[in-house]
Amino acid sequence: MVGVTRISIHIERVVLRFHNGRGNYFKTKPFQPDCKEFFEDDKQDQVWFETIINKELVQQLLYYGKDVEVLEPVLLKAQM
């Protein structure tokens, strides 16, 4: 989990797609230690993890700029 969170907030599955090779950087320096990779050929640029959506997570994702795309959840995608 990234940042300070309230325990009562539920955990969500986050799916990210990286562009311009940034996925390799994320995989070597993930801010989410339990990050999982997809192994399907058409999803090699995607990762997923379960976490609580908070401001710190959004800030971490904004660091990647246009090189990251939030696929799930819809609420987080709208915040980006």
Contacts within 8 Å (CB) and 24+ apart, 41-50: 45/17, 45/18, 45/19, 46/15, 46/16, 46/17, 46/18, 46/71, 47/15, 47/16, 47/18, 47/23, 48/13, 48/14, 48/15, 48/16, 48/72, 49/13, 49/14, 50/11, 50/12, 50/13, 50/14
The answer to whether residue 72 is domain-embedded is yes
**Residue 19: per-residue pLDDT:** 92
Specify if 6 maps to a domain. no
Whether 5 is covered by a domain: the verdict is no
CATH number at residue 68: 3.30.70
The domain in which residue 69 lies consists of 12-79
pLDDT digits (tens, 9 = 90+) for 5-60: 566 678 899 999 999 988 888 888 877 777 777 766 777 789 999 888 888 899 99
- 2 located within any domain: no
Mean pLDDT, to the nearest integer, of 54-67? Answer: 92
The verdict on residue 54 lying in a domain is: yes
Q: Residue 72: how many CB atoms within 10 A of its CB?
A: 13
Q: What is the number of domains present in the chain? A: 1
pTM metric for this prediction = 0.80
Tell which wins on pLDDT, 43 or 79.
Answer: 79
